[in-house]
């Protein structure tokens, strides 16, 4: 006996969750192939769909508006059971495919921030956000947080800036498929908070304090050794991986060995001190360049140069120390007659 449910605007055969997912998956794969990309399904887990600062604030912003809040809970189940088969966030719009009794296409248009509002946000948040890590983790002062999330003139959209459409036959403006996409955006912002800035068509790097970038680097450079700095702080600051082995061993992020492994204690204090100075000087130059033009590409380019120079300098200093100690050891051996 067939089961019946309310779908497509009338009572008809009910579609199982697995069938909904499969319908959505096939439609998403077809669209992604046509656009030359991979499908981007929303994967959520746990009772709370939004877990981080940006995902929670996205949901809180929507909940303030009764026209949206009353219908949003209908979409939570669709997100949890994996029916949002594809979700793409672009400048000014969100596109998605949600599996139901058929694969439905959803588009949510969100007005981008005008230059005047964005400049106002930058001015009000000046020197309040020092690092990219603080921004992504939501470790912001109350003043900055209030400014970014305020109802009017904030980073999050107002109801009048949002329009939406769904290919399903439901005549309501916010159907359960649209509601699922709104929740899907929250899940995606948990994973990639920078997408909110893309959606509003603004550059998140323009919120980072120039003075703060230099200060953060100075703090990181405080008392670290060259190896510790290259392996830890550079990765944290620039989002890159650099592995340093024992003294005398330097590896690039790709795993390419630059120098062969030597003994554990191969560098003298003088060599380590010189290497420290060289590394700090190189990093400060890169930081200054990034602060002058904090665009993402510039920071990435500067980071690559830093890594390259750090690897070469540390390897060169370490190799010199190893050779010197090896020569000295040979001389002592010859003198002793060994």
For 288-320, what is each residue's pLDDT tens digit?
555 555 444 444 555 566 556 666 666 666 666
Confidence (pTM) = 0.60
Do 98 and 228 lie in one domain? The reply is no
Number of separate domains in the chain: 2
Do 25 and 140 lie in one domain? The reply is yes
Do 122 and 172 lie in one domain? The reply is yes
Domain boundary at 159, 183, 207, which?
Answer: 207
In whole angstroms, what is the distance from residue 209 CA to residue 207 CA?
Answer: 6
Do 143 and 233 lie in one domain? The reply is no
Do 98 and 157 lie in one domain? The reply is yes
Which among 158, 256, 140 is positioned nearest to 207, based on CA atoms? 140
Do 126 and 269 lie in one domain? The reply is no
Domain boundary at 207, 241, 267, which?
Answer: 207
Do 114 and 220 lie in one domain? The reply is no
Residue 88 has what pLDDT? 97
Which stretches in the chain have pLDDT values below 50? 1-11, 210-217, 220-221, 223-234, 236-266, 294-299
Domain boundary at 148, 174, 207, which?
Answer: 207
> Could you tell me if residue 51 is inside a domain?
yes
SS3 12: strand
Do 201 and 217 lie in one domain? The reply is no
Which among 74, 42, 50 is positioned nearest to 174, based on CA atoms? 74
Residue 241 is part of which domain span?
210-327
């Amino acid at each position: 006996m067939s089961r019946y449910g309310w779908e497509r605007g009338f009572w008809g055969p009910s579609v199982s969750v697995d069938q909904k997912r499969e319908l959505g998956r096939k439609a998403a794969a077809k669209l992604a192939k046509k656009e030359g990309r991979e499908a981007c399904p929303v994967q959520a887990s746990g009772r709370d769909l939004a877990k981080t600062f940006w995902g929670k604030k996205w949901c809180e912003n929507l909940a303030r508006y009764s026209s949206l809040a009353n219908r949003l809970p209908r979409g939570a189940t669709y997100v949890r059971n994996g029916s949002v088969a594809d979700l793409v966030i672009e400048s000014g719009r969100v596109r998605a495919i949600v599996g139901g009794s058929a694969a439905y296409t959803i588009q949510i248009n969100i007005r981008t921030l005008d230059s005047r509002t964005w400049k106002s946000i930058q001015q009000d948040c000046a020197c309040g956000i020092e690092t990219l890590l603080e921004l992504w983790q939501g470790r912001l002062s109350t003043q900055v947080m209030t400014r970014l999330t305020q109802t009017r003139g904030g980073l999050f959209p107002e109801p009048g800036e949002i329009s939406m459409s769904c290919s399903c036959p439901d005549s309501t403006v916010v159907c359960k498929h649209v509601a699922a996409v709104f929740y899907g955006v929250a899940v995606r912002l948990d994973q990639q908070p920078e997408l909110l800035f893309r959606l509003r068509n603004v550059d998140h790097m323009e919120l980072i304090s120039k003075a703060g970038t230099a200060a953060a680097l100075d703090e990181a450079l405080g008392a670290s050794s060259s190896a510790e700095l290259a392996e830890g702080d550079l990765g944290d600051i620039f989002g890159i991986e650099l592995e340093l082995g024992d003294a005398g061993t330097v590896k690039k992020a790709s795993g390419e060995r630059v120098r062969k492994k030597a003994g554990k204690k191969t560098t003298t204090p003088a060599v380590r001190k010189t290497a420290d100075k060289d590394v700090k000087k190189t990093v400060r130059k890169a930081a200054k360049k990034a602060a002058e033009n904090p665009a993402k590409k510039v920071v990435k380019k500067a980071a690559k140069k830093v890594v390259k120079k750090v690897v070469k300098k540390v390897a060169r200093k370490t190799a010199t120390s190893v050779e010197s100690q090896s020569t000295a050891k040979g001389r002592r051996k010859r003198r002793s007659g060994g």
